[in-house]
Amino acid sequence: MSTIPVFSKVRAYIRARNTTSTSTRDPSGPILVESVLHADTDDGPTHSEVPPRAVSAPEPEVCEGPADSIVRPDVQLPALFSDILGASAALDAVLTVVERVAPTMASVLITGETGTGKDLIARALHTHSPRHTGPFVCINCPAIPATLAESELFGHERGAFTNATDARPGRFELAHRGTIFLDEVADLPLELQVKLLRIVQDHETQRIGSRIVRKLDFRVVAATNRDLTAAMRSGEFREDLYYRLATVHVHLPPLRERPEDIPLLASFFCARAEATYQKAIRGFTSAAMSALRRHSWPGNVRELQHVIERAVLLCSEDVIGAEHLRDLAHHPRASAVATAAHGSPPIVAHHSLGAALQNEKRRRITQALASTRGNQAAAARLLGISRSNLCRLLKRLDIRVEGLRT
């Protein structure tokens, strides 16, 4: 049986990382990708050296032995962007832009699908900027209650409103001499976008209930998974705010457009899960890796991480095979494992592609509406589409919202 193993250097790094007490990362945080730092040397690169931006993909070294010999790539470890792992030209192009822009004060807008690692790019921009010793303040825009949004962003004085028992600085004040990251900025309501435009433009803020105008020093990085061009066209996002945020636009490609990154990421996540759950996994079968490469990965890197973690938990042997990735076969947008195991499935005549797509759209929309108790705005955010687009789909697919409300 031919296997594609977990990279030995990645495994060694994970084990060392789990035993060290000097890590500054919160292990419970949402880590999408993380790289290996100087596994073979005690000292990292000096500031005068120019380290590689991402893991390269050299020709694998095949060990001599029986038919199931293990392929062990001599992985070149990343140094400059230590939280980002990949070997593709698409990712390298993104990191080239990040490397050039990071030392500047330019506002950066990061776009990309959910799970591609936009937050990691935002942190890299901060970490490799002159303000890296300052705060990195992240704002999850959809999570801010509309009634408290202004107070959260700009702060308030004591007695400014009911229950304002103490003065409180806003997020922009907390980001003074650092970076503020506006995650999913397209979900901010229009009335708040107007106020956001002013502070981004003037770098001045005024707490609720105060006459004092505070001059601030911060850098703005924003991210969204929505099409802002369409949002501006529909009037859901201000065009002037877009141009303030997008001095530099960085688009992070989805995982399906950089399949050469999948073996490296899969091996890394496997090594992490192996260490976490105290299992010994040598690697993946060729069929398993082929299935991973062919899957469409609508959830991108985050989905890959969860798939590999489940496979490690379910694997009773020392090699992950296609049978441990059965969840991929049930995914609505891919059936890579079934194809790998049994060949191309037959096409049923009465199930046309158009009908299947319509049924899947109807299922997902109904599920989103049910989980939000019929709240169309919240459901649209879950689906990653505009509310107006959702309304058109509801009418076209004849989905009734009344029965989904509680």
CATH number at residue 29: 1.10.8.60
Structure tokens at 283: 């690697």
| CATH code where residue 100 lies | 3.40.50.300
Tell me if 33 is assigned to some domain: yes
pLDDT at 309: 93
Q: Show the domain range for 312.
A: 3-44+258-342
Per residue in 311-326, is it b (16+ CB within 10 Å) or e — as a string? bbeebeeebbbbebbe
pLDDT in tens, the chain (406 residues): 444 444 455 545 444 544 443 444 343 333 233 332 233 333 333 333 334 444 444 333 333 333 343 333 333 444 456 578 888 999 999 999 999 999 999 999 999 999 999 999 999 999 999 999 999 999 999 888 878 888 999 999 998 888 888 999 999 999 999 999 999 999 999 989 999 999 999 999 999 999 999 999 999 999 999 999 999 999 999 999 999 999 999 999 999 999 999 998 999 899 889 889 999 888 899 999 999 999 999 999 999 999 999 999 988 888 999 888 877 755 544 444 344 444 444 333 344 556 667 777 888 888 888 878 788 888 888 887 888 888 888 888 888 777 666 5
- Residues 271, 337, single domain; the answer is yes
- Residues 273, 238, single domain; the answer is no
- Residues 334, 378, single domain; the answer is no
pLDDT at 405: 60
- Residues 195, 233, single domain; the answer is yes
Half-sphere exposure in the Cβ direction for 367 (13 Å, CA): 8
Residue from 142, 91, 145, 96 nearest 118 by CA: 91
- Residues 240, 121, single domain; the answer is yes
Tell me if 202 is assigned to some domain: yes
- Residues 162, 308, single domain; the answer is no
- Residues 242, 131, single domain; the answer is yes
Query: Cβ distance 170 to 205 under 8 Å?
Result: yes
- Residues 305, 364, single domain; the answer is no
How far apart, in whole angstroms, are the C-alpha atoms of residue 307 and residue 341?
18
Tell me if 319 is assigned to some domain: yes
- Residues 32, 96, single domain; the answer is no
pLDDT at 347: 38
How far apart, in whole angstroms, are the C-alpha atoms of residue 328 and residue 333?
9
- Residues 265, 316, single domain; the answer is yes
Please report, for residues 92, 164, 261, 299, 333, the alpha-carbon distance to residue 296 in angstroms, rounded to integers and kept in the order given.
21, 49, 13, 9, 7
Tell me if 62 is assigned to some domain: no
- Please say which residue of 189, 222, 254 terminates a domain: 254
Tell me if 168 is assigned to some domain: yes
Query: Cβ distance 187 to 141 under 8 Å?
Result: yes
- Residues 229, 196, single domain; the answer is yes
- Please say which residue of 342, 363, 392 terminates a domain: 342
- Please say which residue of 315, 342, 369 terminates a domain: 342
- Residues 98, 214, single domain; the answer is yes
CB burial of residue 156 (10 Å; 0-12, 13-18, 19+): buried
